[in-house]
């Protein structure tokens, strides 16, 4: 894993963890690296000092929130995952079926292509993007 200090075009600074530098480049080129504050995909690396581990106690804790915003996002993620059904890439079809009464009404979350989400909104079907990826999708 590699950590980069990143900055968006609006000057927001944030960190990102990636499998490799090539992995970062691939995700950046695909528009998958976005600012954690404004969502901008115009992101670049900033200067940073390398982290040198001195022992086991110096290992970064990647599971605990670093600040209040990360804690709030984690609380929201837990709430969504505990109170809705994950439908994966079937989100658009399932949301439409629920709206049209063809499927049981229930809270759902999942992924949708941008054009599918836009069509749902144009058709008056209420949907909203989540500020995180579902754990069911993450490897």
Domain assignment present for residue 110? The answer is: yes
pLDDT tens, position by position, 77-118 = 999 999 999 999 999 999 999 999 999 999 999 999 999 999
Structural domain that includes position 29: 2-48
Residue 130 lies in a domain: no
Q: How far apart are CA 84 and CA 32, in angstroms?
A: 25
What SS3 state is found at 86? strand
Give a yes or no: residue 117 inside a domain.
yes
Q: Determine, yes or no, domain membership for 132.
A: no
Predicted confidence (pLDDT) per residue in 5-25, tens digit: 999 999 999 988 998 889 899
Structural domain count, the chain: 2
87 lies in some domain: yes
Residues 73 and 116 in one domain: yes
User: Do 75 and 42 have their domain in common?
Assistant: no
Asked if the model's pLDDT at residue 56 lies above 80, the reply is no
pLDDT band (50, 70, 90) for residue 61: confident
With vertex at residue 39, the alpha carbon angle to CA 6 and CA 37, rounded to the nearest 5 degrees, is 65
CA 119 to chain centre: 21
Confirm whether 16 is domain-assigned: yes
């Amino acid at each position: 894993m590699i950590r980069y200090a990143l900055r968006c075009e609006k000057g927001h600074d944030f960190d990102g963890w990636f499998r490799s530098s090539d992995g970062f480049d691939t995700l950046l080129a695909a528009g998958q690296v976005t600012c954690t504050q404004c969502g901008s995909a115009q992101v670049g690396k900033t200067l940073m000092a390398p982290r040198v581990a001195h022992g086991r106690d110096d290992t970064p804790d990647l599971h605990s929130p670093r600040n209040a915003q990360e804690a709030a996002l984690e609380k929201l993620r837990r709430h969504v995952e505990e109170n809705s059904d994950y439908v994966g890439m079937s989100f658009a079809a399932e949301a439409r079926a629920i709206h049209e009464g063809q499927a049981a009404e229930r809270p759902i979350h999942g992924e949708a292509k941008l054009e599918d989400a836009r069509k749902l909104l144009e058709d008056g079907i209420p949907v909203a993007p989540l500020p995180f990826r579902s754990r069911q999708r993450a490897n």
